[in-house]
């Protein structure tokens, strides 16, 4: 029910992580996020990542014939590149699923 889903994982001392969670949540809402979910347990954290790891099999169920392409895009260019991919998808009537890792780790 969303156009995009972002999983953010933070680590460090609990005081620092709590502070960073507040910053990330504020940034997300400032940029149009409709929902923020923060894992409340290790099991819930793992379930978030299980959903991410299931992305490629899900694409295969939606469309058994697909291209998987890998690229490197600077983080600051992601909004422009993703918008361009959406525009090309609409122009040519092609389904597109973007699944990627964006970050320093």
Interval 52-67: pLDDT, tens: 888 888 888 888 788 8
Q: What's the number of domains the chain is made of?
A: 2
Please state, rounded to an integer, the average pLDDT across all residues of the chain.
88
Shared-domain flag, residues 33 and 68:
no
Q: Which two tokens stand for residue 6?
A: 């972002």
Shared-domain flag, residues 35 and 81:
no
Structural domain that includes position 101: 64-105
Average pLDDT (40-45) is 92
Average pLDDT (22-38) is 93
Residue 12 resides in a domain: yes
Give, in degrees to the nearest 5, the angle at Cα 86 between 81 and 91.
125
Shared-domain flag, residues 44 and 80:
no
Backbone phi and psi for residue 83, each to the nearest 5 degrees, phi listed first = -65, -40
The residue with greater pLDDT, 29 or 100, is 29
Burial class (CB in 10 A: 0-12, 13-18, 19+), 66: middle
pTM above 0.75, yes or no: no
Instruction: Give the pLDDT band (50/70/90) at residue 104.
Output: low
Residues 65 and 59: their CA atoms lie apart, in Å, by: 9
């Amino acid at each position: 029910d969303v156009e995009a889903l972002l999983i953010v994982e933070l680590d460090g001392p609990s005081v620092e992580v709590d502070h960073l969670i507040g910053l990330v949540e504020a940034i997300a809402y400032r940029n149009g996020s409709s929902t923020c979910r923060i894992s409340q347990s290790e099991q819930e954290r793992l379930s978030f990542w299980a959903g991410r790891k299931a992305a490629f099999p899900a694409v295969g169920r939606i469309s058994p014939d697909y291209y998987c392409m890998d690229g490197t895009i600077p983080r600051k260019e992601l909004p422009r590149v993703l918008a361009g991919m959406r525009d090309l998808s609409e122009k040519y009537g092609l389904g597109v699923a973007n699944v990627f890792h964006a970050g320093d780790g």
